[in-house]
Amino acid sequence: MDNRYFIEVAYNGKLYAGFQKQKNANTIQAEVEKALFTFYRILIPLTGSSRTDAGVHAFQNYFHADMPIPVKEKDTYNLNAILPADIVIKSMKRVAANAHCRFDAISRAYQYVLYQSKNPFLNDRAYYYPYLLNMGLLQEAAGLLYRYRDFESFAKKHHQAHTTNCEIFLSEWEQQSDCIIYRVTANRFLRGMVRGLVGTMLRVGRGKYSLDEFQKIIESKNISKTDFSAPAQGLTLVQIHFEL
């Protein structure tokens, strides 16, 4: 009988078409499955926890796999020697046979990082945004999200989600030296949701939308005034929380 394992990964998504396997495009899943096949000499299909789009990074994301052979402690070292430098397997932990890395996740946390002075060391990991922002307005906009459950206004078209309801546990902006960071945690996220929230709140911070207009966008359940222009490189999946 196969044993189920949770495979924890981290990656720089700059060179990849996303997390989930796709035809005619390189992805995180494709690279990890290739490394597993190279090392174990058997095809091991993976199930992913949280999809990330092209160019999005992760400090923590998960696959689960049913392994037909025992996993040894040194296997992660050997697999990491096979994987590209921008992907790392952080752990491989045996779990219950019915554990599911997507459906058993209780919450997911993201951060979106902006920087306001040109910095070549942040270029592929944050959004260069050299505009004056009102931090008070950004914080108020972030706080409004706690009042709502339906975030259809921030889901890109063809999202295929069975519901647009999400429960927000944390939503805040923080200034750290030259960087401005938006942190958000929820039980689930819709396709494009964080980047839509960030882009639209930045309009509030620049005075292009009022807080009342932002609230009306949320309530409209319509993406026509949502700004999805915040680029992928500023977004990082920080943590997925389980209670197994």
Q: Quick check: 244 pLDDT over 70? A: no
Per residue in 164-211, pLDDT (tens digit) is: 999 999 999 999 988 999 999 999 999 999 999 999 999 999 999 999
Task: Cite the residue boundaries of each domain of the chain with CATH code 3.30.70.660.
Answer: 105-242
Q: Which CATH architecture has domain 105-242?
A: 2-Layer Sandwich (3.30)
Verify whether residue 53 is a known catalytic residue. Answer: yes
Q: Return all residues near 154 (Cβ < 8 A) that are at least 6 apart.
A: 190, 192, 193, 196, 197, 200, 218, 223, 226
DSSP letter at 18 equals B
Confidence at residue 159, expressed as pLDDT on a 0 to 100 scale:
57
Q: Return all residues near 229 (Cβ < 8 A) that are at least 6 apart.
A: 199
**Average confidence score pLDDT of the chain:** 94
Residue 67 sits at φ, ψ, to 5 deg, of: -90, 125
Q: Return all residues near 76 (Cβ < 8 A) that are at least 6 apart.
A: 89, 90, 91, 92
Per residue in 59-103, pLDDT (tens digit) is: 999 999 999 888 998 999 999 999 999 999 999 999 999 999 999
Catalytic member of 2, 53, 66, 178: 53
Q: If one looks up domain 3-94 in CATH, what number appears?
A: 3.30.70.580
Is 108 in contact with 60 (CB distance < 8 Å)? no
Per residue in 96-122, pLDDT (tens digit) is: 999 999 999 999 999 999 999 999 999
Exposure string of 62-73, with b = 16+ CB inside 10 Å and e = fewer, is bbbbebeeebee
Q: Quick check: 48 pLDDT over 60? A: yes
Find the helix packing angle between 75-82 and 28-40, rounded to 10°. Answer: 120
Task: Cite the residue boundaries of each domain of the chain with CATH code 3.30.70.580.
Answer: 3-94
